[in-house]
Structure 1
Amino acid sequence: MLHRQSLATAAAGILLTAGIGATIPAGATATPTRTSAPPAMAQVVNVRWGGHPTFDRLVIDVRGTMPPVSVTPVKVLRYDGSGQKVPLAGKYFLEIRLSPAAAHNESGQSVYKGPRLVKVHLPALKGVALTGDFEGVVTVGAAFHVKPFYKTFVLHSPERFVLDVAHPALLCRG
């Protein structure tokens, strides 16, 4: 008798599930959707920095999947689009390019909450600027008084690009 009850309960569960499933429209999904899906293109949302005992760190926060990043020494920093010189004091500059990426959403509204142009008072890093958000390329400039010796890497959860620059005093110790 107990076996028949178990079978009847299982059959009722199957029929109930099938009945509920039949009421879901064909185009609907059974799984809940995320309220904030990751963006189609990586979004640069912040740039921040900090001093450490032997190096300065510049961090670029990204929403979505980290795009390819290049770091290039340049003689002068220029704003994308206009070509105007970026007013950061320094003798050496690095241009950091993230592509494909944007600092705005699909509606054209800025998602970038970091500084646009700021003087920094650290041993190596002297200034940071958002120099471009144009045609799928975001560029960030960094200024230094002495030639920067640096390493780069990516960290995950959340996504961020890291640039570590050795302090100038350490370069003289050999």
Structure 2
Amino acid sequence: MIHARLRQFAALATGALLAACLSFAAPASASTGAATNTVAANTQTQTPLVVNARWAGHPTFDRIVIDIQGYVPTATVTPVPQLVYDGSGKPVPLAGKYFLEIRLNPAAAHNDAGQSVYQGPKLQKINLPKLKGIALTGDYEGYVTFGTAFDTLPYYRAFTLHSPERFVVDIAR
């Protein structure tokens, strides 16, 4: 009798566990919050648009700000030996001894019709204590790339700011 009750209890517990697991595996459309989840997912799938790049000198650092329409995409800042334009590989005509490449992905500097939405400089010489130039070096296959030039080794920190969305690189003096 005890063994029969244990088997019955084990069967009920297994059934309850299986039912709980299946409810977690149900499609999102079966949940009551499906409309909210879909809206949030759709806004995140829109490719962020890079609309401007600007810079400023501060008492202890120079700052580069990349303005974004949409969410801030993944961004990397990488020291490179020279700056080249994406696609062509041609050198970017910015004077400097040290260079940083700023790459955003997924991102675009053009709309779906192929028209540029980027209003900032394509190639700009700058005369700040550290930052000597900036160039838009690529807008290709979901990547937007900038190159920056310096006369001395740049020590930097990169971060995002929100409302409005932007990616920031501060270069210590």
Q: What TM-score range do you get, normalising by the shorter chain?
A: 0.7 to 0.9
Q: Report the equivalent of 2:74.
A: 68
TM-score normalised to the size of structure 1?
0.74
Q: Does 1:80 align with 2:86?
A: yes
CA apart distance, 1:102? 0.3
Deviation for aligned residue 1:159: 0.4
- Is 1:55 aligned to residue 61 of structure 2? yes
> Out of 87, 96, 101, which is 1:90 matched to?
96
Matched, 1:114 2:114: no
Find 2:141's aligned residue among 135, 144, 148. Answer: 135
Using a 3 Å threshold, how does the CA distance of structure 1 residues 137 and 66 change in structure 2: closer, same or farther? same
Query: Contact 1:39–1:64 at 8 Å: present in 2 too?
Result: no
Report the Cα distance in structure 2 between the residues aligned to 1:39 and 1:89, rounded to whole angstroms.
38
Cα distance in 2, alignment partners of residues 166 and 65 from structure 1? 27
1:42 CA drift (Å): 0.5
Task: Please give the TM-score of this superposition, normalised by the length of structure 2.
Answer: 0.74
Offset of 1:40 from its aligned partner? 1.3
Change (3 A) 1:38 1:46: farther
- Unaligned 5+ segments in structure 1 are 1-36, 168-174
Checking the alignment, whether the CA contact within 8 Å between 1:38 and 1:63 is kept in structure 2 is no
Q: Distance in 1 between matches of 2:133 and 2:83?
A: 11
Q: Which runs of 4+ in 1 moved over 6 A?
A: none
Contact 1:150-1:164 within 8 A present in 2 as well: yes
Aligned counterparts, 1:136-155, within 5 A: 136-155=142-161
> How well do the aligned residues superpose, as a CA RMSD in angstroms?
1.3
Secondary structure class of the residue paired with 1:153: strand
CA contact 1:62–1:160 (8 Å) conserved in 2: yes
Cα distance in 2 for residues equivalent to 1:90 and 1:142:
9
Letter in 2 for 1:120: I
Counterpart of 1:62 in structure 2: which amino acid?
A: I
Unaligned runs of 5+ in 2: 1-42
- Give 1:26's aligned residue: none
One-letter amino acid matched to 2:64:
L
Aligned with 1:102: secondary structure?
coil
Alignment partners' CA distance in 2, 1:147 and 1:154: 23
Q: Secondary structure at the match of 1:132?
A: strand
- How many equivalent residue pairs? 131
Q: Which structure features the higher share of helix residues?
A: 2
